[in-house]
Amino acid sequence: MERTNAMKKTLSLLLLIALLCGLLTGCGGGKAESAGAAGGTLTLNVYNWGEYISDGSEDSYDTIAEFERWYQETYGQKVKVNYDTYASNEDMYAKLSAGAVSYDVIIPSDYMIARMADEGLLLELDFDNIPNYVNIDETFRSLYYDPDNKYTVPYVFGAIGILYDANQVDPADVTGWDLLWNEKYAGSILQFNNPRDAFGTAMYRLGIDVNSTDKSDWDKAYDALMEQRPLRYGLVMDEIYNLMGSGEAAIGVYYTGDYFFMLDGQSGDVDLRFCAPEHTNLYVDAMCIPKCCQNKELAERFINFMLEHDAAVANALYTCDASPNRLVYTDEAYREEMGEEALEILYPDRREFAETYNKVAFRNLPPEILEYMNTLWENVKIS
């Protein structure tokens, strides 16, 4: 009897160890076959910004459906993509770092990529599974956030600028960042609802280094955001589309590509314009695989698919963002559809972009400065 009980305990312990090993292995990123039995349906979990992929609406290219179709035709196995969205890098980071969810592909901005890489939250890519990486322009390789090209494949790039309704705003007032603090437009100004971008607008206005490690610089930016408080309609992210497009707000600050996206949705009595301040943030958002990935090979194949001509052009047209993919900006149909005005704003000289980017891009801040910024930001939000 004692022997039988001992054997049962031993078997139970072995089963428990096997189960734990299986769970731990999954958290480290498995092969494509680990997501489902042979011949079954694989699952790919993608976490991306809102309005950041051509989704099949209004007869547009359906990226997810096309990938699922292509994968089955190419590899003989079905795949189901679960696609979730976030409104800011900080929201994405909080959800992933909490460990409660598992995603296979994410598309953060440069400074967040640097942070996640420093914290060991990203997996190195196997570029044998991403041969279409050759389509990425050399300008967008080896940038500061991934100097050895280990973790990322660039997806879009752009700048932060000021949007305004020319039917509500005097053109003489559009002189740069001061417009966001102009008392004439009190109650009609939209500010970013994320700390890094919001503090950035104040710091650019004040001529402060946006990557400063001096807390007094962050105090000055905080004071500016508090000064702006009575002038603001609100703190927003994707809500800006409706508020600016409907004319409910007159002034906002957002990303270049989203301006052109909003032009298509503006009402008849709204005349949206774009102002590129002399000093502003340039950014790159890139596809990465987080450490919690359950299906690394499948994730890499998805990234590779996103670099194909049809998918890359369709996504660039849908999002109106600038693409680092050579197949996009050399495509005549794409250039004709976007128009010269958009191309001039979206695609600056690449050498000039690289030089400027290295000077003005957000960097990963030291932990104590990040904590200080977030504390100040909580006060901005509740004020």
Judge whether 26-156+284-360 and 158-282+363-382 match in fold: yes
- Fold designation for 26-156+284-360: D-Maltodextrin-Binding Protein; domain 2 (3.40.190)
Alpha helices (runs of H) in the chain, residue ranges in sequence order? 2-27, 63-75, 89-97, 110-118, 195-206, 215-228, 240-245, 256-263, 296-306, 309-319, 326-329, 332-338, 340-346, 350-360, 367-382
- For 80-139, write each residue's pLDDT tens digit: 999 999 999 999 999 998 887 899 999 999 999 999 999 999 999 999 999 999 999 999
Taking the CB of residue 10, how many other CB atoms lie within 10 A of it?
Answer: 10
Q: Which residues fall within 8 angstroms of residue 199, CB to CB, at 6 or more apart? A: 210, 218, 221, 222, 225, 373, 376, 377
φ, ψ for residue 145, nearest 5 deg: -75, -15
pLDDT of residue 372: 98
From 28-37, 85-94, 327-336, the region with the lowest mean pLDDT: 28-37
- For 217-258, write each residue's pLDDT tens digit: 999 999 999 999 999 999 999 999 999 999 999 999 999 989
Percentage above 70 pLDDT, the chain: 90
| 353 to 112, 134, 147, 165: CA distances (angstroms) | 20, 20, 17, 28
Rounded to whole angstroms, the Cα distance separating 65 from 81 reads: 8
Say what the pTM is: 0.86
Count Cα neighbours of 145 within 13 Å in the Cβ-side half-sphere: 28
| DSSP SS3 for 349 | coil
Rounded to whole angstroms, the Cα distance separating 82 from 45 reads: 5
State the chain's mean pLDDT as an integer: 90
- Number of helical (H) and strand (E) elements in the chain, helices listed first: 15, 9
- Fold designation for 158-282+363-382: D-Maltodextrin-Binding Protein; domain 2 (3.40.190)
Domain ranges of the chain: 26-156+284-360, 158-282+363-382
* Pair type for strands 232-236 and 189-192: parallel
Residue 144: pLDDT over 50 = yes
Query: Is there a contact between 184 and 190 (Cβ–Cβ < 8 Å)?
Result: no
Q: Residue 161 is inside which H or E element, if any?
A: strand 153-165
Which residue in 21, 7, 71 sits closest to 42, CA to CA? 71
Rg of the chain over CA atoms, in angstroms?
Answer: 23
From 6-20, 260-274, 344-358, the region with the lowest mean pLDDT: 6-20
| DSSP SS3 for 361 | coil
